[in-house]
Amino acid sequence: MNNWENNVRKVTPYVPGEQPKEAGIIKLNTNENPYPPSPRVRQVLEEALENDGTDRLRLYPDPTSEDLVSALAEYYKLDNDQIFVGVGSDDVIAMCFLTFFNSDKPILFPDITYSFYDVWADLFRIPYKTCPLDRDFNIVKEDYYAENGGIIFPNPNAPTGVETPLSDIEEIIARNPNSVVMVDEAYIDFGGESALPLIGKYDNLLVVQTFSKSRSMAGMRIGYAMGHKKLIKYLNDVKYSFNSYTMNRTAIALGKVAVQDEYYFNETRNKIIATRERVKKELKALGFTFPDSKSNFIFATHKEKKAEDIFKALKKAHIYVRYFKKPRIDNYLRITVGTDDEMDRLISFLKDYL
Ligand code: PMP
């Protein structure tokens, strides 16, 4: 018997939402944007194919991803050295865990939150402690005043959609000058208030965002962190010790033009916000309750029907939503906000079913 398995890094992996192969389903289970990316993205992709075909793929991409970083810097009025880019915010956050969470003290995050945080903590052998949300799924800021080796939470939180007031976030950052505090703003563009204005004031704050939701580019895998240049330098040191070429040529080129198309960005996110507010009213009328969502999903529970049953019935009808069989949230459905037409079909199914 060989025992190389004794030396394996054993982990329980994160389970992403289903990506069904069949056509014709209404996909409201992984918080993607129902609208296509900016038309500029398509145009640049077509131009690139016409001009040099695939020839440039012979060459490594720019390890600094300067075109993309500069476009982000211009959009957010920052310096390039305040921005770090990666392969989706998952890559960026994982890199941050590796770089900044190296204390013997536990890192802190909410008990109900993005279910990748505990996976990364386990992967990197980082001790962690979860802080229970209150009954209405709010973060209790005082929990984060305890000794810790770092802090991370999404704002708005996932899968609840609940926003933490910026004043509470600032207090958490100010009370933790010896820890890096990461605010995961994957869903911030759907109505939340970003902590970005605080990065000039606190050198321990990192704000992480993504192209996967509000910029309709989950398939392209682009995420970024913004913070004090010292934080970004440390992140880049770790990145260059791991893989210099995280961002491919296509991601750099398409990400750049997506950021520059502010008009389209505002148009689509406003459409999603409007649809969300309408669907909130319709779900309420059907007997659902939910914490107020500032994201592109609604975390709903029904006063009579079990979430798991609704989830199964919806799936049978080719409407996919997300259900988490986990303590405190096993009677909730996370419903991504799709197009108006998709949401009409969801509501119409629910009306019949209920
Ligand atoms: N943070 C949160 C809170 C999320 O819900 C997601 C999406 N699964 C991510 C980060 C990662 O998104 P991406 O890697 O696509 O940027």
Distance 55 CA to ligand 1 centre (A): 32
Query: From atom 8 of ligand 1, which residue's Cα is the shortest distance away?
Result: 30
pTM of model > 0.85: yes
Q: Phi and psi at residue 83, in whole multiples of 5°?
A: -130, 135
| Chain region(s) in the chain for CATH 3.40.640.10 | 39-261
Q: Mean pLDDT per 10-residue run, the chain (354 residues)?
A: 90 91 94 98 93 90 98 98 98 98 98 98 98 98 98 98 98 98 98 98 98 98 98 98 97 98 98 98 98 98 97 97 96 98 98 96
Query: From atom 6 of ligand 1, which residue's Cα is the shortest distance away?
Result: 186
pLDDT at site 62: 98
Name the CATH topology of 39-261. Answer: Aspartate Aminotransferase; domain 2 (3.40.640)
Residue 159 and residue 276: Cα distance in Å, rounded? 15
pLDDT at site 1: 67
Q: Pocket around ligand 1: residues whose beta carbon is below 6 Å from it? A: 88-90, 114, 154, 158, 184, 186, 210, 212, 218, 223
pLDDT at site 107: 98
Distance 269 CA to ligand 1 centre (A): 17
CATH number for the domain running over 26-36+263-353? 3.90.1150.10
Query: Hey, what are 230's tokens?
Result: 């010292």
Distance 106 CA to ligand 1 centre (A): 22
Probe target for ligand 1 pocket from 31, 72, 114, with the most ligand atoms within 8 Å of CB: 114
| Chain region(s) in the chain for CATH 3.90.1150.10 | 26-36+263-353
CA neighbours within 13 Å on the CB side: how many for 133?
23
